[in-house]
Amino acid sequence: MRRILITLLLAVASLSWIPAYADAASVVPPGNRNAEQPPVPGASVRRTRGTNSTFERKYQKVRELLATDTRLMSKIKSTARAYGIEPIHIIGAIVGEHTYNVDAYDGLQSYYVKAASYAGQSFRFAYNGENVDDFIARPQFDACKSKKDSYSLWICREDVWEDDFRGKTVGGKSYPDNRFSAVFFQPFYAGQTFGLGQVNPLTALELSDLVSRTSGVAKLDEKDAGGVYKAIMDPDLSLAFVAASIRKSIDDYRSIAGMDISGNPGITATLYNLGNTRKRAAALAAKNRGSSQPVWPEENYYGWLINDKLSDLKSLL
């Protein structure tokens, strides 16, 4: 009896990632809603041309990495299990990033070497001489103090940035018309490589509590920029943040929009690329209010590729 009880307790613990609201949701159909691939942004086109490459060539390169690096594939599968998602979602995020944003390295070891090159570097998250920690201490952010988890806290701070600072002059200081993450969380230069999943430092801070709970990774602190970079560049840590991002997008769409996107890797890849899943889920929910037919989420160029190549990518598993 004791052995049975222990087995049941372990089973419950292994399912702790499942949200309390896991009730019925409309299952998003598989495949793409668009017959043709939506336009690829000009910046991605120029970046690829600048390296004398093509999107197809970059796709084949990252596919080869996944097909030949059994250690990496093993890590992807184990991380997916920990976050209760299918590994194809992580593969989709990695393939999308390395097809449209950066070139893949030849092996997992190269990502470790790149991560090690940042070790010990001294830098901070700041804009125009002001540390982000001092910036978020401003009274405009007081409403965020009640947020108990890292995801809600940093989403709140992003919202305050959008409403009160972006493109405005506040207290005699002007702020760029750009994303919070681009202004305060790129201490080197825009487009900096952030490891396997190209995780944004702000996204890592948002997901810190979930990753700490699930993977045992130490919680991140915006005062320790070096620690944040280690987490998003070291493959042993960064895959957890990739998986956590996908987990949150699935949960947000279920709880806010009443949509189950867990069976459509093109949609999760799209959200991984675009971010702001809560707002996007809320916008979709608004479209569906009073609609006689469901309005399904649509893939962008990034997610379209993943669904288009889905059979090929699933063969890697």
Residue 53 has pLDDT above 50, yes or no: yes
Residue 290: count other Cβ atoms within 10 Å of its Cβ.
6
- pLDDT, average across residues 223-232: 90
Amino acid at 192: Q
Label residues 258-278 b or e (16+ Cβ within 10 Å = b): bbbbbebbbbbbbbbbebbbb
- pLDDT, average across residues 121-147: 93
- CA dist 34 and 32 (Å) reads 5
pLDDT number for residue 109? 87
Q: Is residue 182 part of a domain?
A: no
Q: Is residue 234 part of a domain?
A: yes
Instruction: Give the range among 72-81, 113-122, 177-186, 296-305 with minimum mean pLDDT.
Output: 113-122
Residue 127 bridge partners (DSSP)? 130
Instruction: Give the range among 14-23, 186-195, 233-242 with minimum mean pLDDT.
Output: 14-23
pLDDT number for residue 7? 41
Under a CB-based contact definition with an 8 Å cutoff, are residues 133 and 222 in contact?
yes
DSSP 3-state helix, strand, coil percentages of the chain (rounded to 5)?
60, 5, 35
- CA dist 314 and 263 (Å) reads 13
pLDDT number for residue 20? 38
Under a CB-based contact definition with an 8 Å cutoff, are residues 259 and 284 in contact?
yes
We report the CATH number of the domain holding residue 298 as 1.10.530
Q: Is residue 161 part of a domain?
A: no
Residue 1 pLDDT class (50, 70, 90 cuts): very low
Condensed to tens digits (0 to 9), the pLDDT of residues 171-215 reads 999 999 999 999 999 866 544 556 889 899 999 999 999 999 999
Candidates 111, 273, 117; CA nearest to 195 is: 111
Residue 19 pLDDT class (50, 70, 90 cuts): very low
Q: What does DSSP say about strands 130-131 and 126-127: parallel, antiparallel, or unpaired?
A: antiparallel
For residue 296, give both structure tokens. 């399904």
- pLDDT, average across residues 295-316: 98
- CA dist 142 and 138 (Å) reads 7
For residue 40, give both structure tokens. 């690829």
- pLDDT, average across residues 51-78: 95
Indicate the average pLDDT of the chain: 89
Residue 168 has pLDDT above 90, yes or no: yes
Q: Is residue 159 part of a domain?
A: no
Q: Is residue 176 part of a domain?
A: no
Q: Considering its fold, how many domains does the chain have in total?
A: 1
Q: In terms of residue numbers, what domain contains 102? A: 26-124+187-315
pLDDT number for residue 187? 67
Residue 58 has pLDDT above 70, yes or no: yes
Under a CB-based contact definition with an 8 Å cutoff, are residues 258 and 27 in contact?
no
Q: For residue 128, count CB atoms less than 10 angstroms from its CB and return exposed for 0-12, middle for 13-18, buried for 19 or more.
A: exposed
Residue with token string 């043709």: 36
Q: Is residue 209 part of a domain?
A: yes
- CA dist 220 and 244 (Å) reads 14
Residue 247 has pLDDT above 70, yes or no: yes
Q: Is residue 265 part of a domain?
A: yes
pLDDT number for residue 3? 45
Q: Is residue 141 part of a domain?
A: no
Candidates 286, 301, 282; CA nearest to 159 is: 282
Under a CB-based contact definition with an 8 Å cutoff, are residues 260 and 26 in contact?
yes
